[in-house]
Structures are given as structure tokens and as C-alpha cells.
């Protein structure tokens, strides 16, 4: 129970860690990008509104100050004051913009808002206009009211000296409201985008990380020995393909483990049987006081046959070991395939006759040219195939063999007339350790070794059932390398 809780806790920590990394690597960059977008947009909108308002005030201030400089500033302060009062009275935009006329010491003389005469706003735009004789704008709080304002001050010059200042002042409350509305709008859009990104990422991560955790847990169970364990495949994308591959891997590992277990059991049995016969007959011959020659020869023959069987099994195991670690190699030379196969059939013909099996050979009626190959390995294949034909199909009491040329291949066929191979076992007969339902003695790796040898020759090794009954082995070897 404690182990299960530990596994669940570890799984939860792993999922949380994956989610954190996923969010950090995907959501955080998007969040930074959106924040930068909102900030830059806010700055752009603010700059656009305030620049437009400032440009409008500056153009208006230049126009009115130009008229005063050209026509009204050369007739003294009295004329300036009268024209200022008249201009303030006739000013059309007084409901939006305050028009002020100031003296050369920064005190208000006339104002459209009724600002007290003599008041000094004291903002730096006024000081700049008086001291530098240049137009200047000011954006900030009004010293008198504390309200955010935008002001433009233009010097009124007479005889090269500043005699006064024309100042336009407007509240930026409405502009601030427009800027705030635009900023809030883009911020809401950014928040909506961020929410969509987070939701989509959470959905995606739940659809990826949790299945990966399930697959990881299954792989852990398989590595712990639960061979053949299957994961329920509920996915139709790459995850589904991954689950399918892991299920296939688990199934194959389970099959291999089962075949290895059967192989060990089979080899143990196969080794025990000839060893028992050898020991039994050795003791019988040794303890026989009569020394009957017939009995001795019979015992020695059995001992020799069982010894050969043991040697064959050991050779197959050695070949299998070479296949597994990549030491299985060929010694290529020019080979008369026809002659090699004839030698194999001649060797087995008499042995089969003693068992009541007739071995027929058809040379195809033509002489075949030599091919590149390893004669010892090819003979090993022929002997194994002929031995299997007698072992599994000997009940038919007849084996047919042939060598022929078909296209660019030289083809060897060995057919028996036994019960054949069950259809469901055909896909597996060349697998290592596989014996299927056969009760015949053997390690179950002979055909796998044969298939490897023929594959190294760039040939084709096929096993199937023949028409009319029995099994047929077809070996195709290319005439050219």
C-alpha cells in the first residue's frame, strides 16, 4: 500500500513538473509578448492623442500670436491690453480652450475663464517663452487647480523684446479618458488572448502529459517483468501510434520470453534424453558380463546416434549465439549449388531409406552456373531442411527435392507429404525458439539459422504448405551478387 501511494505521489510530482515546464516554456513568452504589446500600444495611443492636441494648440497659438505681433504690439501696452480683452471676448473655443494673455513678468492680464488678473501660473512654458522668446508647451498639473492640463505659451514680441505671452490652456481629462478606454480595450483583448492560450495549453497538456504518464507507467511495468501487458489505446494521433508500438513491443517481448522459457525447457529435455540413452547404454555395455557382440554393437550405434544429436544441438546453439552478437559471417566463393545440394540428398537418401522414407531428386535437366556463396553454410541449410522434412513430414514416407533456374534465381525446393503446418503457425515458424504444436525433437532455432544464412546471401527463404498436402520449403539464391 505504501509503495502504491509512493508511486502515485511520484506520478503527481512528475505531472506537475511537466506542466510547470510546459507553462514556463509556452505561456510565459506569450505573456511577455502581450504585456509588451499592451505597453507599446498604450504609449503609442497616448503619444498620438497628446501630440494631436499639442499640434492643434501650437498652430492656433502661432496664428493668433502672429496677428498680435504683426498688428497690435507696436502701439504700447494700452493697445495690447485692449486687443487682448477683445480677442478673449471674441474667442470662439472658450468652452474647450482657455485663452490667456500674460505680461512679460508672467502675470495674467486677460483670461477667457475669468482667471483673476495678476495671477501667475508659474509653469515652465511661460518662463521659457519669456526668457527664450520661443513657443513652449506644458503637460502636467495646473498649479492653481491641480487639474491635468496641456498649455502652449507663445511670446508676443515688439521691437525685439518680449512684451507679453499668449497662452492656450485646455484640460486633458477627456483625452485621458480616451487613452484609458483604448488601453483598457487592448488590455482586455490581451487578457482574453492570454486566457485562450492558457486554456488551450491546459487542454493540450492534459491530452499529452497524462497519456505520456500512462505510457510511462506501462513501460515501467513492462520493464519490471509484466511482459505482454497492454495499454488501452484511446488515441488516434501520434500518441495512439506510440501506444500501439509499446503494446506491440510488450507483446513481442512476452512472446520472446515465452519462447525462451519453452526453449530452455525443450533444450533441457532434448539434452536429458540423449544423455540418458548414452549413460544407460554405457552402463549396460560395461556391466554386461557376456560381452555379446550384437548387444555391444547395438549399444555403440545408439551412443553414436545420440552423440551426433547432441553435437547438432550444440552447433545450433553456437550458431544462434553468433547470430545474436553479430559474429555470424560468410566465407564467399564460387559455389556449384547443384552439386552441393546433390551431395546433401545423396547423404540423406540412405538414412531416409532406413526409416522407410523415399527421397526423390530432380536436377531440372540442365547444368546451372556457379554462384557466389558460402558452401559450408549452404550445405548446413540443405541438411537442416532435409532433416526437418523427415522429422516433421516423415509420416508421408516421401520427400521430393529439386533444383532449377527461375528468372535471376537458382531455386531449391524440398517438399514432404506429411500433415503440413497449421495455418496459424506459418507466420512464426522461422522465429527463434518457436516449435508450435510440433512434438518433434529439436531446439527450435534451426530454421531461424537457415533464414539468417539465406538472408546473408541476399536470397529468400520461404516455408509454406504445398497443394495436395505436406509442407514445402523454397530457397531462392540470386545468380549475380
User: Which of 340, 364, 315, 309 has its CA nearest to residue 457?
Assistant: 340
Give the cell for residue 204.
493540450
Average pLDDT, the chain: 81
Q: Return d(Cα 186, Cα 66) in angstroms, integer.
A: 42
The count of other CB atoms within 10 Å of the CB of residue 61 is 23
Pick the CATH number of 333-478 from 3.30.565.10, 3.20.20.10, 3.30.1360.30, 3.20.20.70: 3.30.565.10
The count of other CB atoms within 10 Å of the CB of residue 399 is 26
pLDDT at position 257 is 74
pTM for this structure?
A: 0.44
Widest pairwise Cα distance in the chain: 165
Give the cell for residue 81.
491690453
DSSP 8-state code for residue 229: -
Q: Return d(Cα 77, Cα 70) in angstroms, integer.
A: 15
pLDDT bucket at 135, cuts 50 / 70 / 90: very high
pLDDT at position 258 is 73
Q: Return d(Cα 245, Cα 239) in angstroms, integer.
A: 10
Q: Return d(Cα 43, Cα 81) in angstroms, integer.
A: 41
Average pLDDT over residues 261-274: 68
Cα 246 to chain centroid, rounded? 14
Q: Return d(Cα 249, Cα 353) in angstroms, integer.
A: 46
Q: Which residues of the chain are in CATH 1.10.287.130 domains?
A: 261-322
Q: Return d(Cα 269, Cα 277) in angstroms, integer.
A: 12
Q: Which residue has the cell 522668446?
A: 133
pLDDT in tens, 278-300: 888 788 777 777 777 777 788 78
Q: Return d(Cα 328, Cα 321) in angstroms, integer.
A: 9
Give the cell for residue 234.
484511446
Asked if 235 contacts 211 with a C-beta cutoff of 8 angstroms, the reply is yes
Helix (H, G, I), strand (E, B) or coil at 166: strand
**Burial class of residue 406, CB neighbours in 10 A (0-12, 13-18, 19+):** exposed
Domain 1-221, CATH: 3.30.450.20
Domain 261-322, CATH: 1.10.287.130
CA distances from 319 to 277, 314, 462 (A): 25, 9, 20
pLDDT in tens, 181-234: 988 999 999 999 888 888 887 777 777 767 777 777 777 777 777 767 777 777
Q: Which distant-in-sequence residues (6+ apart) come within 8 Å of 161 by Cβ?
A: 104
**Up-side HSE of residue 148: CA atoms within 13 Å toward CB?**
8
Rounded (10°) CA dihedral 270, 271, 273, 279 = 170
User: Which of 115, 122, 118 has its CA nearest to residue 141?
Assistant: 122
Give the cell for residue 84.
487682448
Name 157's bridge partners: 162
Name 361's bridge partners: 401
Q: Return d(Cα 168, Cα 112) in angstroms, integer.
A: 10
Q: Which residues of the chain are in CATH 3.30.450.20 domains?
A: 1-221
CA distances from 57 to 49, 62, 172 (A): 12, 8, 12
User: Which of 271, 193, 257 has its CA nearest to residue 31?
Assistant: 193
Helix (H, G, I), strand (E, B) or coil at 384: helix
Average pLDDT over residues 37-57: 89
Containing 46, the helix (H) or strand (E) segment is helix 2-71
pLDDT bucket at 151, cuts 50 / 70 / 90: very high
Q: Return d(Cα 81, Cα 118) in angstroms, integer.
A: 13
Crossing angle of helices 2-71 and 173-223, rounded to 10°? 160
Q: Which residues of the chain are in CATH 3.30.565.10 domains?
A: 333-478
pLDDT bucket at 316, cuts 50 / 70 / 90: low
pLDDT at position 412 is 93
Average pLDDT over residues 64-90: 79
Name 100's bridge partners: 111, 167
Amino acid at each position: 500500500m505504501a509503495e502504491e501511494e509512493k508511486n502515485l505521489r511520484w506520478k503527481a510530482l512528475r505531472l506537475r513538473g511537466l506542466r510547470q515546464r510546459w507553462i514556463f516554456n509556452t505561456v510565459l513568452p506569450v505573456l511577455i509578448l502581450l504585456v509588451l504589446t499592451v505597453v507599446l500600444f498604450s504609449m503609442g495611443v497616448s503619444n498620438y492623442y497628446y501630440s494631436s492636441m499639442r499640434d492643434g494648440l501650437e498652430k492656433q497659438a502661432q496664428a493668433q500670436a502672429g496677428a498680435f505681433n504683426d498688428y497690435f504690439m507696436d502701439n504700447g501696452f494700452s493697445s495690447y491690453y485692449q486687443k487682448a480683452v477683445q480677442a478673449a471676448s471674441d474667442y470662439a473655443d472658450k468652452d474647450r480652450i482657455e485663452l490667456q494673455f500674460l505680461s512679460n513678468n508672467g502675470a495674467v492680464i486677460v483670461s477667457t475663464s475669468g482667471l483673476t488678473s495678476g495671477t501667475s501660473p508659474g509653469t515652465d512654458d511661460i518662463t521659457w517663452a519669456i526668457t527664450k522668446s520661443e513657443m513652449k508647451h506644458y503637460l502636467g498639473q495646473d498649479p492653481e487647480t491641480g487639474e491635468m492640463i496641456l498649455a502652449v505659451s507663445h511670446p508676443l514680441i515688439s521691437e525685439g523684446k518680449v512684451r507679453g505671452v499668449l497662452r492656450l490652456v485646455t484640460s486633458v481629462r477627456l483625452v485621458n479618458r480616451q487613452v484609458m478606454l483604448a488601453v483598457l480595450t487592448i488590455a482586455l483583448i490581451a487578457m482574453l488572448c492570454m486566457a485562450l492560450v492558457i486554456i488551450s495549453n491546459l487542454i493540450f497538456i492534459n491530452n499529452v502529459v497524462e497519456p505520456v504518464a500512462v505510457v510511462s507507467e506501462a513501460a515501467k511495468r513492462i520493464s519490471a517483468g509484466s511482459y505482454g501487458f497492454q495499454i488501452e489505446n484511446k488515441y488516434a494521433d501520434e500518441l495512439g501510434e506510440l501506444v500501439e508500438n509499446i503494446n506491440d513491443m510488450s507483446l513481442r517481448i512476452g512472446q520472446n520470453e515465452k519462447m525462451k522459457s519453452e526453449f530452455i525447457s525443450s533444450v533441457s529435455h532434448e539434452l536429458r534424453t540423449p544423455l540418458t540413452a548414452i549413460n544407460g547404454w554405457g552402463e549396460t555395455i560395461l556391466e554386461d558380463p557376456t560381452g555379446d557382440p550384437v548387444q555391444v554393437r547395438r549399444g555403440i550405434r545408439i551412443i553414436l546416434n545420440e552423440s551426433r544429436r547432441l553435437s547438432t544441438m550444440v552447433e545450433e546453439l553456437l550458431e544462434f549465439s553468433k547470430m545474436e552478437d553479430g559474429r555470424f559471417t560468410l566465407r564467399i566463393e564460387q559455389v556449384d549449388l547443384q552439386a552441393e545440394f546433390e551431395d546433401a540428398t545423396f547423404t540423406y537418401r540412405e538414412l531416409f531409406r532406413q526409416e522407410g522414407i523415399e527421397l526423390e531428386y530432380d536436377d531440372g535437366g540442365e547444368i546451372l552456373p556457379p554462384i557466389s556463396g558460402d558452401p559450408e553454410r549452404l550445405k548446413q541449410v540443405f541438411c537442416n531442411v532435409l532433416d526437418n522434412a523427415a522429422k516433421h513430414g516423415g509420416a508421408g514416407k516421401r520427400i521430393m527435392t529439386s533444383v532449377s533456374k527461375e528468372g535471376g534465381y537458382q531455386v531449391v525446393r524440398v517438399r514432404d507429404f506429411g500433415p503440413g503446418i497449421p495455418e496459424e503457425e506459418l507466420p512464426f515458424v522461422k522465429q527463434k525458439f518457436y516449435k508450435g504444436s510440433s512434438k518433434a525433437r529439436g531446439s527450435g532455432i534451426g530454421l531461424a539459422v537457415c533464414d539468417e544464412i539465406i538472408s546473408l546471401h541476399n536470397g529468400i527463404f520461404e516455408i509454406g504448405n504445398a497443394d495436395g498436402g505436406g509442407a514445402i520449403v523454397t530457397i531462392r539464391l540470386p545468380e549475380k551478387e
